[in-house]
């Protein structure tokens, strides 16, 4: 509790904090401590289970302020899980609104490097009759690695638009064995609790019965 920081959560107007995320969301605490706590709990409780179901992670999108969202990036949280707890085989989102699975290319801006000015100093070729060191470096010295040139790579402009979880997950997993589905909660049941149970049962069956990866968005919002 000494690592907890006060951060406002943004919940929909008709949603109460029934799961006490404002008190216990992992996004409010030190990340390393949370991962260590979950890892020790798994080691203590696990017997012969092949999979572990984690709930409540990667919900920094519910933080109200952009500065808080960037402080605990979803990417950092996701990679911490894969590094210290285990590979993520499936993600299951219970949500009101659809999260786009692909990045909008029109919103991606690339860094433009200024053109080289005329007269800029360039490497001078050795004069005829002179021999350059065979290793490309100073004579008698070790070979030097080519200088790093940022302009040789593509860089996106920092725009504070981090990838959402579907985009992050789908970009990290092999395309051939990864599927993304969007379903309405009503397709499981008209009861919210029964819909959650039915969707979770389906998720567990998919994970246990296959070798691929999946991301499922289950939408409860009335406009979807």
- Domain positions in the chain are 1-88
Is the model's pLDDT at 129 over the cut of 70? no
pTM over 0.85: no
Pairing of strands 213-219, 90-95: parallel
- As a whole number of Å, the end-to-end CA separation of the chain is 38
Contact 88, 78 (CB under 8 A): yes
| pLDDT score, position 15 | 61
Structure tokens at 140: 């008698």
How many CA atoms lie less than 13 Å away from 63 in the CB half-sphere? 24
Is the model's pLDDT at 212 over the cut of 60? yes
Neighbouring-strand partners of residue 91: 215
> Whole-angstrom Cα distance, residue 199 to residue 94?
9
Residue 170: which pLDDT band, with cuts at 50, 70 and 90? very high
Structure tokens at 145: 């690695």
Pairing of strands 178-184, 90-95: unpaired
| pLDDT score, position 222 | 62
| pLDDT score, position 37 | 93
């Amino acid at each position: 509790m000494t690592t907890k920081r006060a951060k406002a959560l943004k919940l929909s107007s008709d949603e109460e904090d029934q799961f006490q995320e404002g008190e216990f969301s992992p996004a409010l605490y030190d990340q390393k401590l949370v991962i260590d706590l979950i890892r020790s709990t798994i080691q203590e409780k696990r017997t012969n289970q092949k999979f572990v179901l984690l709930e409540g992670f990667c919900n920094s999108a519910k933080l109200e302020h952009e500065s808080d969202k960037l402080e605990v990036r979803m990417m950092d949280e996701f990679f911490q899980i894969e590094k210290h707890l285990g590979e993520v085989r499936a993600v299951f989102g219970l949500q009101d609104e659809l999260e786009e699975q692909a990045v909008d290319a029109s919103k991606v801006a690339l860094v433009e490097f200024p053109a080289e000015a005329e007269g800029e100093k360039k490497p001078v070729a050795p004069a005829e009759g002179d021999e350059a060191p065979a290793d490309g470096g100073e004579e008698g010295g070790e070979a030097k690695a080519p200088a790093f040139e940022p302009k040789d790579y593509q860089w996106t402009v920092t725009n504070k638009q981090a990838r959402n979880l579907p985009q992050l997950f789908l970009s990290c997993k092999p395309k051939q064995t990864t599927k993304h589905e969007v379903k309405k909660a009503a397709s499981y049941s008209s009861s919210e609790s029964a819909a959650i149970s039915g969707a979770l049962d389906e998720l567990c069956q998919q994970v246990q019965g296959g070798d691929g990866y999946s991301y499922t968005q289950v939408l409860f919002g009335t406009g979807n």
